[in-house]
Structure 1
């Protein structure tokens, strides 16, 4: 791998991890190019957080190897930690301190001289639009402001690699979009971002490459466009005339189903979008013309990819959905690597 560090920010080969008899990672391979956004998608319990914990040196692997900025995460753990930053699912800022105090404290923990820590705090507060709230206690901040402060705390020392583990969980759409803008600015400046998320729109918007993790294994990898093309270029949504018709359509499609919405009596199937193919599907699935009330053709989304490759729909995280290694107490402790 001697010729790879200049181009590769993260590389994992055969990465494995088990907790007792439960296999969380079953031997995954990952490679992330420097200065890009790499998104790791997967349902709850798929192993996303475990992968992040191993790559950020918080948890030793059970097997395989991993390098970050060319450094082995086990043998060169301290050097890896100096090159990275981690923002976890839950904001790890002190609510009793002000925003400014939090950032200055983080700077001092990162061995910055006092004056430099103060200057860096001011720069980050301005960058994340928090200057007006700098001297307010963090306990008075909104969720979006806390997440921005949390991310700012992880950038005190300009990391080469930034791990974002479910960074926008619980944020409103406006705050989520603001975080997306920040990530775009970071990669434009040369930072490599390793993102885990269940918000598929987020991965579609931000990621240069995406890996889909299911039951501890990578089941697909590529750009968003490549993954969508792997399932189908477009999707035909059939809106059923009633619950019985919906069940009949779903049963007829079987594993070809790429989208299900029982509440709206809607089921989706891959199509090339051409009139001939759409007509053929309608003739096959509803020969009597009584099951389909109406239909629509849409571009394939990452949700369709997710459902087609994992057999279930993607859903945002819910409180209490932790993998074996991710307890609520641990979640608050792993937010930054110091």
Structure 2
């Protein structure tokens, strides 16, 4: 509970931390709950979910779970269609630090085959990569037929963090903007379906999320020195984002902005929109018949030494 004696700004931060903690708990529940169990009254009661109407400004946890599971079911159909048709899909997720990109990527991939839906989250370029054609290290992660690749940050690093932090020269920056529209048109002409999202949060929300990371030992690893530096350069990042959107919003690969202050709504809105961008359909498959277990009379299972077993502490 927030302390009413604290200044209003501090109360807002505490409320955001509380929401973040609840979201963390819900993340664990998402791994376990399926559609049938969600309708179980006993489980709903245990989760503190009540069968009440949904307020316009406050999405209930039940509504969130039901919609997420429904959308994830559609993502499975999308995956099946991509495999069947040998489509190639690239989805770019950009936004400020702590904007929620990783959260929506996690919900997209949660129930999909990692061999079909892959995540590319590249580290800073090494010395060799810095001397390559700028797009070269990203090209190797592009999909083959029947694959989806989600870029958790992408070649747009040059238009954002590299620009703001001075990691690229003015000439490199301008060359990026000359090249990227042609690069993306080339990808689209080659048959890649390219979709680009920018996750938008407010200054206050980013501060609150950073504070939550500072005080949560399980999330402190998410807060890098670069993240800390970005707080003091909020306006520089805003200017860089505005230039990026203006100069790289092309008909072949437009930008889509996700309002991401509310994490749960952002996830549902982004996934629903992503599904609308692709003409997928359910693929018919023959029914699977499980063969009978074969028993051989001359087979005897060998004993396993007790020392090989993991101790059962729980």
TM-score for the superposition, normalised by structure 1: 0.31
The answer to which structure has the higher helix fraction is 2
TM-score for the superposition, normalised by structure 2: 0.33
